[in-house]
Structure 1
Amino acid sequence: MEIFLALAEELHFARTAERLLVSQARVSQTIKKLERRFGTALFERTSRRVALTPVGRRLRDDIGPAFLRIQEGIARATEAGRGVAGPLHVGFSGALQGDLVLSVQAALRTGNPECEVRLHEVPEGDPYGPLRSAEVDLAIVRFPVSEPDLTAGPVLISDAVMLAVPARHRLARRDAVGEGDLAGESVLPAGSLQETLARVGAGHGVHPVPSQTAVYQTRPTIAFVPYPDAPPAEFGAVWRTAADNARIRAFVAAAAALVRTEGGPAQVCGACRADAIRPAPR
């Protein structure tokens, strides 16, 4: 069935053989055996193209998901037997999250040198896409996460929220702002961080951001004002439930241990956020 499903995807005998590391004759013989078994053609073949017949499409749709689950089960069993050895691709979309991943990478290397953590920046607007496409095994994303196919770990970062306002805005020199101060203000919807900050700087509105933004994204056109009424921005690890393995669990455990040693999620890289919560100069 692996050969059938690969050919159903590639629709090319030579590419299918190359992908599966078998001969083209093996691919052709296997398909012919299946067609004799089912008593009907699964593919239409001409000198120029290969296409699935209606029966072939139905067979692909019926067995494809089940075969994928079998492959994932085999992969999980293999990972469990292998332990934590091998690469772990970790995604992040913010500077503080990246700093945390680097710290966990160093800690994990000490106890599990055979686990190789590789960092990948993921888009803020689509943090789950790289997980679902298997580009990354795990990602540090903003919570909460309510996705049925994903598992969320513990909160690793809890960051106070600030209000990003234009530098000449009436709130720019406040020590803090509250909910009442936003009356009549244009609060920009969430988007990519760079686009949102550019719009704030241009005077299009205001936007709440984690305090780390005031440290890593300073610019003369924006002031960041403490916003204590807003709940903290929380970040943690998330991964595909079906792809859970020993490396992911080792990384999450090492991250949780590191956070505990730093005094909890609100203290992770505290020095990186201390400047952010100081009042704007008068």
Structure 2
Amino acid sequence: MERRDLQIFLTLCEELHFGRTAERLHVSQARVSQTVKQMERRVGTALFERTSRRVALTPVGERLRDDVRPGYEMIEAGIARAVAAGRGLAAPLRVGFTSPLAGELVMTAALAYRERHPEAGEVLLHETALSDPLGPLRDGGLDLALVQFPVVEGDLRTGPVLISDTRVLAVSTRHPLARRDRADYEDLAADKVLMLSGALPSYWLDHLIPPTTPAGRPVERGQAAATRQELLTLVGAGRGIHPTAAHEARYYARPNVRYVPFRDAPPLEYGLVWRACAETARVRAFAEAAAEVVRWHDGPANVCSACR
């Protein structure tokens, strides 16, 4: 007996109406009638009592329904789990983030992902070190990571921009720039520019801290810090300045550090990254869910306010 035949039989047991059964299963009414007749021939007796006014199960039909339904439901559940596994949705998904704002967006995307794919596995969130944001992807510790763009790596794929934020310059409250309402790229030549140490691509550092100002003045890079807190400690002590994203002023406020808006710096952008060789259905599904979250809030420029 075919799986489809059992589906038709059990649906008819629920509907007790040939037309509604056919409509529910998107088959012809003739197909329903033919399936019932074939089953009755195989069983050797009627399974349904049919009149012009009603359809009812016979005692044999009731017994067959009760006997086959549990097995059919187990088969359907097993097939559903196999399909989910084949699509790569059943296993847990490990997603990394490098900042509190990125973490909030990842959490919102995880909720959207589970709503769109109830059969999907758990989403596990991991904070990754700013000094090596791509390393956990490459060693297989993460499936995706929400990191700062640009990412130009042959072994990695990138999704759309999810966060776009203005830049600010972190300076000591005692620094001359702290008395200014605005800073610009020329101000980077006025002091040592601090940065994070670690396995960061050179083009990423140049994107954050250009080697020269627009006027051609050299930008001196100062001491490298291992963590965000270490870097801000150096800034607060007057050991240098640091360009960063504006949202960090909310999450890393310090009494001895002021965040001065940049007047002429392009925004910093962030998006999802994953290994090209490990792009599965669940990776694509999560990236699509994250992009959908952004669309709900009218684009990446408004993600910051949406995640506050």
**TM-score where L is the length of structure 2:** 0.60
Alignment partner, residue 13 of structure 1: none
Residue 99 to residue 189, structure 1, CA distance change in 2 (3 Å): same
Secondary structure, aligned partner of 1:146: coil
What residue number does 2:239 align with?
204
2:92 — aligned with what?
A: 87
Is 1:160 equivalent to 2:197 in the alignment?
Answer: no
For 1:272 and 1:181, locate their aligned partners in 2 and report how far apart those are by CA, in whole Å: 31
Which residue is equivalent to 1:60? none
**1:140 and 1:262 mapped to 2: Cα distance?**
18
**1: CA distance between counterparts of 2:133 and 2:188?**
29
Structure 2 CA distance for partners of 1:194 and 1:231, relative to 1, 3 Å? same
Structure 1 CA distance for aligned equivalents of residues 86 and 165 of structure 2: 38
Quote the residue 2:141 is aligned against.
135
Matches of 2:151 and 2:112 in 1, distance apart? 26
Tell me which amino acid in the other structure corresponds to 1:177. A
Deviation of 1:173 after TM superposition, in Å, equals 2.9
- Residue 248 of structure 1 is matched in structure 2 by 283
2:185 corresponds to 1:179: yes
Q: Does the 8 A contact of 1:189 with 1:207 survive in 2?
A: yes
Task: Kindly state the Cα deviation for residue 254 of structure 1 after the two structures are TM-superposed.
Answer: 0.6
| Structure 2 CA distance for partners of 1:243 and 1:272, relative to 1, 3 Å | closer
1:211 CA displacement: 0.6
Structure-1 separation of matches of 2:280 and 2:108 = 21
**Residue number among 269, 273, 286 corresponding to 1:238 in the alignment:** 273
Q: CA deviation at 1:111?
A: 1.4
* 3-state SS in 2 of match to 1:110: helix
Determine the C-alpha separation between the residues in 1 that align with 2:241 and 2:107.
32
Aligned partner letter, 1:270: S
Alignment-derived partner of residue 113 in structure 2? 108
The answer to whether the Cα contact below 8 Å between 1:92 and 1:98 also exists between their aligned partners in 2 is yes
The 4+ residue runs of structure 1 with deviation greater than 6 A are none
2:124 corresponds to which residue?
118
Shift of 1:265: 1.1
Post-superposition offset of 1:206? 0.5
Q: What is the CA–CA distance in structure 2 between the aligned matches of 1:184 and 1:94, rounded to whole Å?
A: 28
- Write out aligned runs for 1:2-81 (5 A): 81=86
What SS class does the counterpart of residue 105 from structure 2 fall into? helix
- TM-score w.r.t. length of structure 1: 0.66
Q: Give the alignment partner of residue 229 of structure 2, picking from 194, 212, 229.
A: 194
1:159-181 Cα distance to aligned partner (Å, 9 max, x none): 10000000121111322111233
Q: CA deviation at 1:208?
A: 0.3
> Paired residue for 1:222?
257
Aligned partner of residue 163 in structure 2, secondary structure: strand
- How far apart in 2 are the matches of 1:145 and 1:181? 27
Q: Point out where structure 2 has 5 or more consecutive residues left out of the alignment.
A: 1-82, 198-226
Question: How many Å separate the matches in 2 of 1:106 and 1:200?
Answer: 37
C-alpha separation in 2, matches of 1:216 and 1:272: 13
Q: In 2, distance between residues paired with 1:271 and 1:215?
A: 14
Give the letter for the 2:117 counterpart.
N
Alpha-carbon shift at residue 112 of structure 1 (Å): 1.0
- For residues 194-224 of structure 1, give each alpha carbon's deviation from its aligned partner in whole angstroms, at most 9, with x where no partner exists: 2221110111010101011100000111000
Q: By how many angstroms is 1:272 displaced?
A: 6.2
Q: Deviations over 1:84-135 (max 9, x none)?
A: 2221000011000000000011111211122221101111111111111111
Check conservation: 1:160, 1:228, Cα contact below 8 A: no
Amino acid at match of 2:126: H
Equivalent position SS for 2:158 = strand
* Bigger mean CA offset, 263-272 vs 241-250: 263-272
Aligned length: 197
Identical-pair percentage = 54
| Aligned partners of 1:80 and 1:245 also within 8 Å | no
- Aligned-residue Cα RMSD (Å) equals 2.0
Q: Which of the pair has more CA radius of gyration? A: 2
**Aligned equivalents of 2:84, 2:144: Cα separation in 1:** 15
